């Protein structure tokens, strides 16, 4: 008799159960998932105890998820899955600014601010002027581009992580470019910080001998009619975690200059032009 499950034919036994009239993409994705999952189990000869621990880990990860915390996104991030999905889905033409991981701390509908405004509402840290242009691939300025900006405060926490101590919308804002495509605003010079590591993902990192830190960065989501959405960061050059970002988000082209200024109002200046690809 054929068709019963065995170690040798495990993949076929499972995949053959799929119906004929199912979504073709679902068929492709699930068939590949089963193939690689079974190959992994066979490769490491997974023990029953290990599989039990894996299921308990995934259960705890799900239990940690809620409106304020998405432990599965952290898991995807530290496994490099988020960056790989980003890379496959955001192949851009030469000259366009590269994307990087979105992360869990974006909040929609931040206040629209005027160019030059300060987004550091708690006033902590070293003031930094962020400035540059939004350009197309020909170097022409893009008018009406929307820059949605978010960053941690000088102590390494986002406002949503400390709703009782930080002002709402601290280190966040939306800026719209004019005809010259320029943006400029003041914020705190970013500092490196650990991703939330008090849950199962943090325990996993510790067990693997990995630290939970991200190098200092500021997030940008830039949209403009007729252009591809750009989700990216700029990183502070020289940060000690640039080559060991726990979520693998660093790209060399996104490391920005942060220069000391003579200006007493802002101790630092970071100039960075973003280049959008057409749709
Ligand atoms: C962030 O940069 O905000 C972030 C990205 C991935 C995981 C945790 C935080
Ligand atoms: Fe961040």
The per-residue pLDDT for range 154-198, each reduced to its tens digit, is 999 999 999 999 999 999 999 999 999 999 999 999 999 999 999
Domain of 29? Answer: 1-46
Please give the pLDDT value at position 2: 60
Q: Do the Cβ atoms of 133 and 182 come closer than 8 Å? A: yes
| Nearest to 191, CA basis, from 252, 271, 125 | 125
Nearest CA to ligand 1 atom 5: 103
Task: Work out the pLDDT band at 153, boundaries 50, 70, 90.
Answer: very high
Dist CA 20 CA 18 (whole Å)? 7
Give residue 266's pLDDT.
82
Same domain, 121 and 236: yes
pLDDT confidence tier of residue 264, bands split at 50, 70 and 90: confident
Place of tokens 């206040």: 111
pLDDT tens, 20-73?
999 999 999 999 999 999 999 999 999 999 999 999 999 999 999 988 889 999
Place of tokens 């004929």: 20
Question: Looking at the structure, do residues 6 and 87 belong to the same domain, yes or no?
Answer: no
Percent share of the chain, pLDDT over 90:
94
Give the whole-angstrom CA distance, residue 238 versus residue 90.
Answer: 27
Cα(191) to ligand 1 centroid in Å equals: 13
What is the reported pLDDT for 69? 87
Is residue 125 within 8 A of residue 166, CB to CB? The reply is no
161 within a domain of the structure (yes/no): yes
CB contact burial 28-45 (16+ within 10 A = b; e otherwise):
eeebeebeeebeeeeeee
Average pLDDT of the chain is 96
Pocket probe mutation, ligand 1, options 68, 82, 101, 192, max atoms within 8 Å of Cβ = 101
Tokens read off for 152: 């941690």
73 in Cβ contact with 82 (< 8 Å): yes
Per-residue pLDDT tens for 129-138? 999 999 999 9
Give me the residues paired with residue 259 across strands: 269
Q: How far is CA 92 from the centre of its chain?
A: 17
Spacing, Cα 249 to ligand 2 middle (Å): 10
Domain count, the chain: 2
Please report which ligand is nearest the Cα atom of 105: 1
Mutation test residue for ligand 1: of 105, 152, 212, 218, the one with most atoms within 8 Å of CB: 105
Q: What is the CATH number of the domain that holds 177?
A: 2.60.130.10
Mutate to test the pocket of ligand 1, among 214, 220, 254 (most ligand atoms within 8 A of CB): 214
Confidence (pTM) = 0.93
**Are residues 80 and 31 part of one domain?**
no
Q: How far is the CA of 195 from the centre of ligand 1 (A)?
A: 6
Q: 3 and 117 in one domain?
A: no
Pocket of ligand 1 (CB under 6 A): 74, 77, 101, 103-105, 195, 214, 247
Q: How far is CA 218 from the centre of its chain?
A: 11
- pLDDT tens-digit series, residues 73-132: 999 999 999 999 999 999 999 999 999 999 999 999 999 999 999 999 999 999 999 999
Return the pLDDT at 72: 95
């Amino acid at each position: 008799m054929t068709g019963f499950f065995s170690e040798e034919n495990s993949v076929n036994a499972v995949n053959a159960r799929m119906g004929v009239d199912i979504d073709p993409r679902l068929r492709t994705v699930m068939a590949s998932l089963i193939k690689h999952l079974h190959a992994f189990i066979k490769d490491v000869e997974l023990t029953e105890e290990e599989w039990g621990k894996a299921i308990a880990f995934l259960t705890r990860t799900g239990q940690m998820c809620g409106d304020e915390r998405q432990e599965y996104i952290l898991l995807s991030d530290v496994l490099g899955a988020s960056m790989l999905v980003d890379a496959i889905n955001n192949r851009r033409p030469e000259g366009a600014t590269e994307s990087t991981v979105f992360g869990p701390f974006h909040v929609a509908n931040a206040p629209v601010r005027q160019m030059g405004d300060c987004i550091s509402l708690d006033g902590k840290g070293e003031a930094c002027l962020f400035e540059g242009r939004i350009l197309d691939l020909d170097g022409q300025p893009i008018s009406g581009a929307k820059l949605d900006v978010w960053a941690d405060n000088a102590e390494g926490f986002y406002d949503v992580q400390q709703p009782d101590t930080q002002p709402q919308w601290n280190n966040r804002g939306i800026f719209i470019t004019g005809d010259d495509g320029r943006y400029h605003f003041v914020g705190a010079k970013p500092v490196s910080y650990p991703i939330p590591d008090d849950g199962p993902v943090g325990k996993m990192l510790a067990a693997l001998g990995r630290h939970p830190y991200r190098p200092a960065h500021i997030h940008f989501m830039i949209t403009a009619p007729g252009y591809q959405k750009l989700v990216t960061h700029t990183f502070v050059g020289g940060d000690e975690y640039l080559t060991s970002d726990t979520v693998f988000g660093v790209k060399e082209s996104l490391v920005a200059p942060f220069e000391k200024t003579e200006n007493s109002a802002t101790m630092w200046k970071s100039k960075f032009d973003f280049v959008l690809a057409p749709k």
